[in-house]
Structure 1
Amino acid sequence: MRRKGVNYSRFGYIFTFPFVLAFLIFSLYPILYTAFIGFTDLQGLIPKPLHILDNPFQNFKDLLFDNPSFRKSLINTGLLWIVNFVPQIVLALLLTAWFTNQRLKIKGQGIFKVLLYMPNIITAGTIAVLFSTLFAYPMSPVNSFFEMMGWSDAPINFLQDKTIARGIVAFIQFWMWYGNTMIILIAGVMGINPALFESAAIDGANGIQTFFRITLPSLRTILLFTLITSMVGGLTMFDIPQLFLAGGPDDSTLTTSMFIYGQAFKGSYLYNRAAAASMIMFVISAVLSAFVFYLMRDRDAAKLKKIEKMHRKSAKSNQGGVTHGQ
């Protein structure tokens, strides 16, 4: 008698069930419920029946056109992300090229990597206290240093200057995350076929040529991942601006996440407006992510697929013509 084979595929469904269940309960349902709240009049701490507004998009309209604080938070969020991400990715790429250069053979790479990554594992609260102390007014290490160097005759209130405050927040974000970006890029370089670098060396390519002609193109997927995760993280920036300056001075470091938190859990508890703002940020994140995916697509592969599609259509039309002729 032939023995019946065992179907192991069902075990895959069993193992994935806890994740799917957790995702449905703790991710998908809150997202859908938040989207629904954005179209209602849900406000205040006292529970009351939900009513969809006569104009379902009224909350969204009020935020985009009648709420200067929300528009300011959008601008602040974009500025803070751009100012910290551009130097972050540049420095991370330079460090990656330095650490992975086989010609340099840097000793003690592990120690350097740990030291550069360390700011990422320090809690946001600790960093906020650290920089608050560094730039405190009137007495602080930075003010003392400025006076010692003769750059200032009187203490400077750094944290009350909008530009300086934004710059410090952006620097903190850069300082915390460039090490993480560097580690990801180094991991990506280690996954590149070493034969490519050996061939480049045999052909006489220098370090710069190798980096731009081999390393960067091979890191397309890793760079895409880094850009998307950094962008989403930047758009949801909350901890450092909140703990360091609480959005000040004069809302110059107010981010969209802080605005949403303030609308939902402070003052009049405008849950509907907070939900609408969350959905606006969700749409912005989705659109920007799609744009980045399109921008960093493999153009050669796309062209090849297009040519193959045209060939298939041509072959099908020719086959149809032959059949019709018969």
Structure 2
Amino acid sequence: MKKKKSVVTRYNRWGYIFLIPFAVVFVTFQLIPLCTTIYNSFFENYMSGLRKVGPNFIGLKNYAKLLTEGDLGKYFCNTMIMWILGFVPQIILSLLLSAWFTNPQLRLKGQRFFKTVIYLPNLIMAAAFSMLFFTLFSKGGPVNSILIAIGVFKEPYDFMAHIGSVRGLVGFMNCLMWFGNTTILLMAGMMGIPDSLYEAAEVDGATPGQIFWKVTMPLLKPIFVYVLVTSLIGGLQMFDVPQILTNGSGDPMRTSMTLIMYLNKHLFSKNFGMAGALSVLLLILTGFLSAIVFQVTAKDEVQ
């Protein structure tokens, strides 16, 4: 018995050995920067012209300044609005495509081709995507030319000067870039549902709509919650699309300025104390919103 136990112990060592690269990378590139960011958030450390101020320990003053003097609430609302504008059509489109592709009764042809096509936008860099849309929707761009030619507008419409159009473009781009990834995840969840459940529901006389809402959606809930939480985290970290589309200004009137764009301005001005405090607040906010999602989605769990 003792010999068998020693053999198992020696075998288990290989698991720890293979974990070493991950542990080294995690500690070096995630844990240490996280601790450093939290540490810097308690210091006054910025550039005033050519003069460096700090680092001077000031406690929670950076946090108090962000919460009382800054436009943190406004930028949070901007971020959430643009995330919702992208996520709602994205999840609807992904659910629809997933239901179509996984329905054996439809027998759709060329599924592999269409699955590849819908995932391609996710492979395009957000910077390239933003530059493309900036060119397409500029005052002299092809979209304005087409709309004028068909009589929708009499003169070019400045998409970048209106709140609704800028936010709508950001949401539309996020939807296009991520609906393919969401579709693949939801399809994986739907394909894991046993066919016997669908057959039993059909025998009981359930309609396709009832099968989807009463069978598919409840069993798809773990994947759906995962998609919702990861999309929420990605939405809070939204940066590249609005940054490039508005040239970093968040115009019009900073209504498209996101939390990470606000953080980037502090980093650009080398205000590391405020940037650290904002990063910590963003971490807390992400954890709080994710906990709310888990709490709400767990309400109908069987007790």
TM-score calculated relative to the size of structure 2: 0.92
Which of 259, 264, 281 is the equivalent residue of 1:261?
264
Counterpart-to-counterpart distance in 2, 1:85 and 1:202: 35
Counterpart-to-counterpart distance in 2, 1:109 and 1:12: 39
Match of 1:152 in 2: 153
Deviation at 1:298, TM superposition (A): 6.6
CA deviations over 1:287-321 (Å, ceiling 9, x no partner): 011111111227444x1xxxxxxxxxxxxxxxxxx
Q: Residues 288-303 of structure 1 correspond to what in structure 2 (within 5 A)?
A: 288-297=289-298, 299-301=300-302, 303=303
Counterpart-to-counterpart distance in 2, 1:72 and 1:288: 17
Q: Which runs of 4+ in 1 moved over 4 A?
A: 2-5, 45-49
Counterpart-to-counterpart distance in 1, 2:97 and 2:234: 22
RMSD between aligned residues: 1.8
2:22 is equivalent to residue 26 of structure 1: no
| Bigger radius of gyration | 1
Match of 2:103 in 1: 101
Amino acid at match of 1:262: K
2:204 is equivalent to residue 217 of structure 1: no
Counterpart-to-counterpart distance in 2, 1:193 and 1:79: 37
CA deviations over 1:124-174 (Å, ceiling 9, x no partner): 12211211111112x211111111111111111111112211111111111
Question: Where do 5+ consecutive residues of structure 2 fail to align?
Answer: none
Deviation at 1:185, TM superposition (A): 0.2
Give the conservation status (yes or no) of the 8 Å contact 2:44–2:53.
no
Counterpart-to-counterpart distance in 2, 1:195 and 1:25: 49
Match of 1:192 in 2: 193
CA gap 1:61/1:233 in 2 versus in 1, 3 angstroms: same
Amino acid at match of 2:42: F
Which of 54, 57, 74 is the equivalent residue of 1:52?
57
Counterpart-to-counterpart distance in 1, 2:283 and 2:148: 46
Counterpart-to-counterpart distance in 2, 1:144 and 1:48: 52
Q: Residues 1-326 of structure 1 correspond to what in structure 2 (within 5 A)?
A: 5-6=6-7, 7=9, 8-44=11-47, 50-53=55-58, 56-68=59-71, 70-137=72-139, 139-245=140-246, 246=248, 247-266=250-269, 269-297=270-298, 299-301=300-302, 303=303
Counterpart-to-counterpart distance in 1, 2:64 and 2:53: 24
- SS of the aligned residue for 1:50 comes to strand
Counterpart-to-counterpart distance in 1, 2:244 and 2:87: 20
Counterpart-to-counterpart distance in 2, 1:206 and 1:118: 34
TM-score calculated relative to the size of structure 1: 0.86
Counterpart-to-counterpart distance in 2, 1:35 and 1:89: 35
Deviation at 1:249, TM superposition (A): 2.6
Deviation at 1:50, TM superposition (A): 3.3
Identity in percent: 39
Instruction: Count matched residues.
Output: 295
CA gap 1:203/1:38 in 2 versus in 1, 3 angstroms: same
Counterpart-to-counterpart distance in 2, 1:299 and 1:20: 37
Question: Where do 5+ consecutive residues of structure 1 fail to align?
Answer: 304-326
Give the conservation status (yes or no) of the 8 Å contact 2:102–2:190.
yes
Counterpart-to-counterpart distance in 2, 1:106 and 1:48: 65
CA gap 1:103/1:24 in 2 versus in 1, 3 angstroms: same
CA deviations over 1:7-34 (Å, ceiling 9, x no partner): 2111111111111121112111111111
Counterpart-to-counterpart distance in 2, 1:173 and 1:286: 22
